[in-house]
Each structure stands twice: as C-alpha cells, then as structure tokens.
C-alpha cells in the first residue's frame, strides 16, 4: 500500500516537471490587438495647450 502511494507521488512529480519544462504554445493564446491611445485634444488655434473650460482664451 505504501509502495503505491510513493509511486503515485513520484509519477505526479515527474509529470509536473515534464509539464513545466515545456513552454506553453503561443499560437493557442488569444490575440490582443491594442489600439493606440487617442491623441490629446488640440486647441482650435493649433497649439497643443489644453483648452481652459469655462474661460475665454485670448
């Protein structure tokens, strides 16, 4: 009975080492397509300053 338990434990360790040595397949992972972040809002006169909300710009 003890021999069976030892064999099962050793077999489990062997399978764990074997599975960890194989890298996971990259082709089965879902592909994530990251879009570029949207550009900052540009003021109407072409400058890159953010518009002051509620204030009149000169």
pLDDT at position 20 is 78
pLDDT at position 27 is 62
State how far the alpha carbon of 46 is from the alpha carbons of 9, 40, 54, 55, 58, in Å.
70, 12, 19, 18, 14
pLDDT at position 35 is 58
Is residue 51 a contact partner of residue 41, using CB atoms and an 8 Å limit? yes
Average pLDDT, the chain: 70
Helix then strand count (H, E) for the chain reads 1, 0
Residue with tokens 């990251």: 34
58, pLDDT greater than 70: no
What's the pLDDT tens digit per position in 3-23?
999 999 999 999 888 887 776
Joined together, the tokens standing for residue 5 give 């338990």
């Amino acid at each position: 009975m003890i021999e069976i338990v030892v064999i099962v434990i050793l077999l489990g360790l062997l399978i764990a080492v074997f599975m960890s040595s194989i890298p996971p397949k990259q082709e089965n992972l879902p592909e994530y397509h990251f879009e570029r972040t949207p550009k900052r809002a540009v003021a109407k006169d072409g400058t890159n300053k953010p518009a002051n909300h509620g204030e009149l710009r000169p």
